[in-house]
Amino acid sequence: MSEEKKAIHKTYHDQYYGFPIHDDNELFCRLILEINQAGLSWETILKKEAGFRKAYSNFNIKKVAAYTEEDRERLMADPGIIRNRLKINAAIENAKTILQLQKEYGSFEKWLEFHHPKTIEEWVKLFKKTFRFTGGEIVNEFLMSTGYLPGAHTANCSVYKKVQQAKPMWMVKK
């Protein structure tokens, strides 16, 4: 692996992967990035993250939920993101869904906490029922990367203790 590739992965691994996210827009960001990673490498997504942020109004849920057909076409023409109509439509529809969850539960994070803990199979079923373009791998990575499921780091990983100090939901027993 080249030094550039190592650097890209190291920042994500050491500072983001497995750490809880308490901001709904950032949770939405992670969900959209995971959806867009389907069929591609995570490195591709990390390299395009800034492009995604710019294209999707910095993952502002309200703004993305209000996107029009014109916005869909703008996104399809944007080389800074993954130009896949199904993934673009999923981002917009999932933003609308999250707005509903916020009305019902107070936040996307509270919706996730309300359903915690679940097995991966239960989470996948719930996500498939609730969101678009959310298969098993997407759901697993989203939940692991945001601290709802264990496994982002092993106990002998240098970041493991920092993740534990952040009190991810997988450590919380109900």
Q: Which of 12, 16, 105, 160 is catalytic?
A: 12
**DSSP state string for 69-116:** HHHHHHHHT-TTS---HHHHHHHHHHHHHHHHHHHHHSSHHHHHHHH-
Whether residue 111 lies in the annotated active site: no
The candidate with the shortest Cα–Cα distance to 98, out of 138, 106, 139, is 106
Residue 140 carries which DSSP code?
H
Q: Are 153 and 159 a contacting pair, CB within 8 Å?
A: yes
Residue 12 annotated to the active site: yes
**Considering 34, 56, 67, 109, which one is annotated as catalytic?**
34
Q: Which of 16, 42, 105, 160 is catalytic?
A: 42
- Catalytic residue at 56? no
Cis ω for the linkage preceding 150 (within 30 of 0): no
The dihedral sign for the CA sequence 88, 89, 94, 96: positive
The residues carrying an active-site annotation are: 12, 34, 42
